[in-house]
Copies of this chain bind each other. A is one copy, B any other.
Amino acid sequence: MILIKLGGSAFSNKAKPLSFHEEPVRNLALLIKQHGITPVLIHGGGSFAHPVAKAYGLDKGIRDDAQLIGVSLTSLTLSLLNERITSIFSKLGLPTYTIRTGAVFMRTLSGLKLSGDVVDLVRRLVGMRIIPVFYGDVIHDYELGFSILSGDEIMVELAKRLKPRYALFLMDVEGVYSEGPRRGELIRVFKPSTSISYSSSGVDATGGLMGKLKHAIELAEMSVQTYLCSVMDQESISLILTGGEPRGCTRIEAT
């Protein structure tokens, strides 16, 4: 089993609402087709969901009923985005099946609750060679009414139950750099002890690189082979998918 997270930055420009770059998604779909694999795909909300969710303050929970329309609008834009991504897969002959994250995940007072049936559904879909698709979503929260569940969190939660061999985080950059996005040196192996000096410019709406690294380390701690790669680095992704060690990318190690 392989989990692939297609980050929002990989296919959209945070500064431009509803911007969408087809090429990186198509590149990923072509690699999946070429290697004949059936991964579980998780995509971010990119510039579709973040501006709406932020405008309605959904990252801070529901304090006012007027925010509930923001839940509907965020859901709508995420649905539009999911259609764009899955239709690129369909055009290449790769069947997908979207499992709306908020239909199966709830945030309770004791942590995330995932419907047990979903694990069975995902295994069955992969067995039929149909790609299960999840996405970062606005989900019901027992305490806050609604809150955001990021694609990176979904990776960790699914990995706990599916025990994948690989987890790939695909981004718009080659991996983790020592001094910020594309600044300093590309770090080939990142461990919890690795020090990097990042300015706030590297931070996005769902926790930024530090959040991503925290989740990636959790995956590595579960003995999942975890990599952060550029979505356009076909050679490295192909090497990982065939059991090799890539020349690009950052590999995450637990210790």
Contact = CB atoms under 8 A, between A and B. Distances in A.
Contacts of A113: 117
- The DSSP consensus for interface residues of chain A is helix
A210 interface: no
A97 interface: yes
Copies of this chain assembled into the complex: 2
Interface residues of A, number: 43
A95 B121 contact: no
A125 interface: yes
Interface stretch (A16-24, A85-93, A169-177): A85-93
Contacts of A140: 97, 121, 124-125
Contacts of A99: 100, 102-103
Given A86-B75, A90-B76, A124-B140, A104 B115 contact: yes
Closest 6 CB pairs of A and B: A68-B95, A115-B115, A103-B103, A99-B103, A100-B100, A115-B117
Interface of A: 62, 65, 68-69, 71-73, 75-76, 79-80, 82-83, 86-87, 89-90, 93, 95-100, 102-104, 106, 113, 115-118, 120-121, 124-125, 128-130, 140, 142, 145
Contact of A130 (B71, B116, B125): B71
A219 to B, nearest CB: 23
